[in-house]
Amino acid sequence: MVAVLAPPPVDLIHPASGAPTVLPDLAAADRIRLAWLPGIGRGRAAQLILERAHLGVPLTPSLLDLVPGFGPGTASEVQDWVRRRGLRRAGGAP
């Protein structure tokens, strides 16, 4: 059986190139948006949503390794993805 992800949300796709252009807010994004981050996927996105409520601080890529089950490797992968693409938050400056 092959798992099929839902297509990325429209706000994650650049209309010309198709490349992701907006970083989901890790502190508030839904499972679909989180699942499209590298190293996250559907299962880890659901886990992230459950765990982030207990952190006491807004979750950012640099704090991702504070979430149980997310080590420095995943945090580094997400941070590198953000840096490579020069992503920005929706409605915010780059």
Q: What is the pLDDT of residues 53-65, one digit of tens each?
A: 888 888 888 888 8
* Local confidence band at 39 (pLDDT 50, 70, 90 cut-offs): confident
Two tokens, residue 92: 């915010």
pTM: 0.65
pLDDT at position 31 over 70: yes
Q: Beta strands of the chain (E only): which ranges?
A: 22-23, 88-89
For residue 84, the tally of other CB atoms under 10 A from its CB is 8
Cα separation, 71 vs 3, whole angstroms = 24
φ and ψ of 47, to 5 deg = -65, -40
The pLDDT, as a whole number, for residue 71 is 86
* Local confidence band at 21 (pLDDT 50, 70, 90 cut-offs): low
